[in-house]
Structures are given as structure tokens and as C-alpha cells.
Amino acid sequence: MSEQMVSRQAEVESVLRLAPVVAVVVLQRVEDAVPLARALVAGGIPAVEITLRTPVALEAIRAVANEVEGVAVGAGTVLNARDFHAAARAGARFAVSPGHSPALLDAAEDSELPYLPGASTASEAMTLAERGYRWQKFFPAVPAGGVDFVRALASPLPGIGFCATGGISAQTAKQWLALPNVVAVGGSWLTPSDLVAAGNWTAIAALAGEAARLVSPG
């Protein structure tokens, strides 16, 4: 494994270990980005994945990267080389994808951006590990097999750590975080659309505070 890959994977690990939950955010208005990120950080959730699912996502990443102290903002739903380059230019600290492809892995190697690729099977996890990806996103976590499936991967694939994302809630997060191969979970429950639309940053900070108190042994 190259020194560059080792360094990038270490950066991914450092982001995942900032808190038990990585906030997964879909933004419709760029003006919500900064106060939302500040509320999450205030509550104890500094790792924020802004998904590239809306037209304002890149501008939102740029605003958060420039204006919010103490945040590690990343780009989610990265699907191609163009997304990698745009996210890096916007100031993202990491990139996340729901799965992976040969072209996407090649794009990641050409980018300076630390990358958390997605996997949902043992074979996919092994393929990523062969390319040097010690840290992976298990997605969609609940539909792809749930807690029991990921627990079963721990013994045969001891070198892989997951950020489990997809279908996890405040009520089920602890079950995932108790697994030896799950270092963090991705959570969209921290930023419900109604609270974001209402600008209720106090309520979002409270949700972040509850999430930050979840303890991961990983």
C-alpha cells in the first residue's frame, strides 16, 4: 500500500472517530448550511457529510468549510471523477460514496481527497481491502443485512472497519456501535427536513447532543 493511501486512510479514520455519528445531510437551501453545521458542532457532532443530491450541495460545502469552526465537512453521494474534483475544490475534507466502481476507485486515486467507499457484501469489502481501503461505508445498512450480517463479517474480515449507514435511527444506533467492526454510524435523523426548513437549530443541536453521547467501543 502506498504511503499516500495510508495517509488518506488515516485521515478517514480520524474523521470517523470524531464522534459516534456522522451527520448525513441533504440541503435544499444554501443559507441553511452554516447554521445547521454550527448546531451540529455545538451538539458534539463535528463530522458532517453533505450529500451531492441537490443543486446547492457544493456551495453549501464551501460555505461550511469556510465559515464553521471545528467542523469536518465531507461530500456524500460521490459518483464519478467530476464529483471528486468538485468536492475537493469546494473544500471538502473527505468523500463518501454509496458503493464503488473501478472508474470511481481510479478517480479516488487521482484525487487528494480522503475517500470512504461503499460496500454491502463480503466480496465488495474484500475488493476494497485489496485496493487499500481499511475503512468502508456499509450501505444500505439495514436493507443489506443489518446488525447480524455486519457482525458476521468481523471474524473473517478483521482488518476492515465500517461506518454503517442507511436505515439506522437514534433508537437502533447503539446496536450498531456495539459491533467490533463498526467505528461510527451515518445518521440522517439528526437533521430532519421539518426542523431544517423551520430553522430550528436549537432542536438540531439537542439531537446532536444525544447522538454524541452514544458510545462506540470501536
Active site residues: 49, 137
Task: Give the phi and the psi of residue 166 in degrees, each rounded to 5.
Answer: 115, 100
Give the DSSP letter string of 43-107.
Answer: HT--EEEEETTSTTHHHHHHHHHHH-TT-EEEEES--SHHHHHHHHHHT-SEEE-SS--HHHHHH
Distances (CA, A) of 70 to 101, 169, 179: 32, 25, 28
**Grid cell at residue 167:** 436505515
What cell was used for 213?
Answer: 453521547
